[in-house]
Amino acid sequence: MKKHKSSILARQNGVTLIELIVVMAISVLLLLISGLGIGTFFRTYKELTAWTKLQQDALNCLNLIKNGVPVGSGIDTEYIGVINAMTLELTNTTTNVSTGLKVIPPSASDIYKSDNAHFYLYNGAVRCTYVHHGVQVASPIYIFPKEEDLDDIIIDKFLFTKVNPEPNVYVVQVELNARIKTGADRYEMVKFKTKMAKK
């Protein structure tokens, strides 16, 4: 009786061309699906990052108006904002609604009567000019958006509304609506409405 030696090489038939094409097609399909998933992930990440930046910058703007923009330097630094104001004045106003607010600090009642911080909307940006110890800042500060972000962030609404019934302004409502570009004709939006009162 003759014995057959089985060998691994003897039993292999090889790979047909059709099997090779099927494996390559599946591999290409998996690569395309992975690529689309990674592209979607990075686009979503970019949109979320832009929206987070927009929210943070808008909140910083509102906090600067409320708590004060820093003026002066060193031990002479002072914050001129709504909460520490001696007087508030609506500017660019129609009745009790305006696009600007002038804040006069307590120090203005002494020697430096012209000291103030003026927050207003100009050319698509919330800006601030101030006078500190009788000296006016050379150029307005970009509060929101920053100068380098002007092409990406659009302010749709920036309004101050007087809330209290008395003739003088003690409480203002601030509305800030803005959007940031996240792609071709795609934007993420934020809307803020808050009240601020001087002490």
Per-10-residue mean pLDDT for the chain, 199 residues long? 55 73 87 82 85 94 95 85 93 82 82 89 94 87 92 94 92 95 86 93
Phi, psi of 87 (to 5 degrees): -140, 145
Q: For residues 72 and 78, is the Cβ–Cβ distance under 8 A?
A: yes
pLDDT score, position 10: 55
pLDDT confidence of residue 184: 80
State residue 17's pLDDT score: 81
